[in-house]
Chains A and B, each alone.
Chain A
Amino acid sequence: MKQEEKKKSQRLEHQENAGGRGQARLDGFQWLYIATRGIRFRPDRAAVRRELEAHLEDKQADLRRIFPEMSQEEAERRAVESMGDAWEVRKQLAKIHKPWLGYLWRLSQVLAVLACLWLVSFGLFRGEDAYLGDDGYSELWDVDNLPGTAVMGDQDDRRYLPGDDPNQLLALEIGQTEHVGGQNVSLRRAALWQGDDRRELYLYLRVDTWRFWERGVLREEWMKVTDDRGNCYALEEGNYYALVTAGDPPEDGSRASGLAWGGYGPFHSGYEVYLRDVDPEARWIRLDYGPTQPLVSFTVELKEEDQ
């Protein structure tokens, strides 16, 4: 059947190319072919053809119901006749169904698919802690997508996990999660280290959100860190390395700390908060996050260091 229709289409196309506008009696297939041929966007053409074909079939079925003695061929002939001039219908349909609208729609679909592919590939292969590949970053992150499991030359990359380094006073897998404004903010890990002349506390926060365009943003100015001794750890601007290696304590007496972006994927971002000059007498520190009143609070007990 399909082969036969294809042959008929080719014959009609050939006639048309030769400039022929057949005035002879058309059958249903020919009428549909001519009427829809002016629609250049193929999916549109197929949809219109289906609609007109259904009309022709309804008409034939009705004729045969009213006149049971009528042959199939006669019913088809009368149905086609009642449809009117195929060439006139073709002209009008071609005017309405502009091809560029269809192509624009198709282009937008292609772009949407490309955007999805980009998003997936970005999440799987390009995100620092959401990769599948064995890239330069792969040693820096563990299977939980958390920093600091690998043994690296730079001690900053192994500061979180419990180890036998005498300078590591405490390492905790915390895992507290709070829901804020459609995002899940969680405190995943903490580690307390004894530096040359001061204690340093590292906190790793992760923000998960399905709204990938927001990329799980935390606002630095909403973050406030205090301890049970009444110290306030002011966040300094700048990147992590600058904070660790340089900078005097703020003049207002608060203790230096900082926030850095650490790791990302399509649906999350990681943040490292570090307190450079932790009070040795502090038993806990609390991280509040919110504009004026805290929306989220995480408390880290530092008592274990004494055990």
Chain B
Amino acid sequence: MTVVACYSLKGGVGKTAAAVNLAYLSGREGARTLVWDLDPQGSASFYFRVKPKMRGGFQRVIRRKKDPRRAIRGTDFQGLDLLPADFAARNLDLLLDRSRRPKRELSRFLRALRKEYDRVFIDCTPSIGLGAEGVFRAADVLVVPTIPTTLSMETLDRLKKHFRSKKRRPGAVWPFFSMVDSRKTLHRDICERDGSLPFKFLESRIPYSSDVERMGVHRAPVQTFAAASAAGQAYRSLADEIAGRLSKGRKAESAA
């Protein structure tokens, strides 16, 4: 099971859209996929038309007092399930703080699902508390949507520094440019700033597009209503790039 976390310290950068579209495409490529909506706002759950409520109660499920598998719900798409959001997730940091090994809690939780899914996409909340630390530890890959602006790059730098000071880091950090508006000079400039970027960026870029915003109207991934649009194609290329890097990584791992 590969855990891909869509994470950013900044809000409104396209984390949920990325998680939902990447998970949808992953399911369509034959991977048994789960989206875990860890954001108390419940946007991913909204897109999949699922009530943002965890059956059994968020606390009890996270602490595995209730079977996490019972909390999972099938989406409209075969091969793609959702662990819905819960408003109680706003207290995730507090909840983890009370456990004996707070940073390991989420990894342990996911371990219970490893036989059922090939890929898990986590839609994270924009914070850097214990919850985020738990995600960093559980994730094989951290996918970071980044708007090409000065502030976003600052945030990314900060994240890099943060990881440098930690013993335990996520398996890999793959940022990609999100909400790119090619009409803006600043966006174009930053996207072309190849050498001075804090991480090696994925090559695919998600354009700023009303089709992504229309996901809220259709309550479905872009691919289902605008597959041929620029955004649809961009997500497809992003998904292919990530799948390619994952399989390359797995080969290298098995060779090592």
Do they bind each other? no
